[in-house]
Homo-oligomer: A and B are copies of this chain.
Amino acid sequence: MAGKAEKEHGEAGGRARGIDRLIQILEYLHEDGRPQRPNDIAVGIGAPKSSVYEIVNRLVDANFLEPFDREGRLFLGRKLHFLGAHYLETFDLLREADPTVAALSAETRETAQLCMCEGDKYVVALAHSGGRHFKISSDIGRPIPLTWTASGRLLVADRSENEIIDFIPPADFTLPDGKPLATRKFLSQIESARAEGFYSSDSVVDDYTHCFAAPVRDRDGACLATLCIVAPREEAKRRHDELRDSLLRHAATLTAKLGGGAKRRP
Which residues of A approach B to under 8 Å, CB–CB? 7, 9, 17-20, 22-23, 26-27, 30, 33-35, 55, 58-59, 61-64, 66, 68-69, 75-91, 94, 118, 123, 125, 138, 140-142, 264, 266
Which one of B35, B58, B89 contacts A138 once the chains associate, using CB atoms below 8 Å?
B89
Tell me which residues across on chain B come within 8 A of A66, comparing CB atoms: 87, 91
Closest chain B residue to A24, Cβ basis: B62
Q: A66-B91, A81-B88 are in contact. List 12 more A-B contacts (CB 8 A).
A: A9-B61, A19-B22, A26-B83, A30-B82, A68-B90, A75-B90, A76-B86, A78-B87, A80-B80, A81-B85, A81-B140, A85-B141
Taken together, the copies of this chain in the complex come to: 2
Q: Does B68 contact A264, Cβ atoms closer than 8 Å? A: yes
- B17, B58, B69, B83: the one within 8 Å of A80 (CB): B83
Decide: A81 and B87 in contact? CB cutoff 8 A: yes
Say yes or no: A30 contacts B83, CB within 8 Å.
Answer: yes
In the docked arrangement, what's the CA distance between A142 and B7, Å?
A: 34
Min CB gap A105→B, angstroms: 12
Q: How far is the CB of A101 from chain B (nearest CB, A)?
A: 13
Distance (Å) between the CB of A90 and the closest chain B CB?
6
Q: Are A76 and B81 in contact (CB under 8 A)?
A: no
B58 near A76 with CB under 8 A, answer no
In the assembly, what is the distance between CA of A81 and CA of B80, in Å? 8
Residues in B neighbouring A58, C-beta threshold 8 A: 9, 19-20, 23
Q: In the complex the two chains form, what is the Cα distance from A80 to B30 in whole Å?
A: 11
A75–B83 Cα distance when bound, in Å, is 10
Smallest Cβ distance from A118 to chain B, in angstroms? 7
Alpha-carbon distance A83/B30, docked complex (angstroms)? 6
From B23, B79, B83, B85, A62 is in contact (CB under 8 Å) with B23
Q: Which residue of B lies closest to A26 (CB)?
A: B83
Contact (Cβ within 8 A) A87 B80: yes
Q: Is the CB of B84 within 8 A of A83?
A: yes
Top 4 A-B residue pairs of the complex, sorted by shortest distance between their CB atoms: A84-B84, A82-B141, A81-B84, A85-B140
- Do the beta carbons of B140 and A86 come within 8 Å of each other? yes
State the Cβ distance, A232 to closest chain B Cβ, in Å: 21
Query: A233 → chain B, closest Cβ, in Å?
Result: 25
B residues within 8 A CB of A89? 138, 140
| CA gap between A80 and B88 in the complex, in Å | 9
With A35-B90, A64-B23, A90-B35 in contact, do A141 and B81 touch (Cβ < 8 Å)?
yes
- Distance of A80 Cα from B64 Cα, bound (Å): 10
| Contact assessment for A19 and B18 in the assembled complex, using a CB-CB cutoff below 8 Å | yes
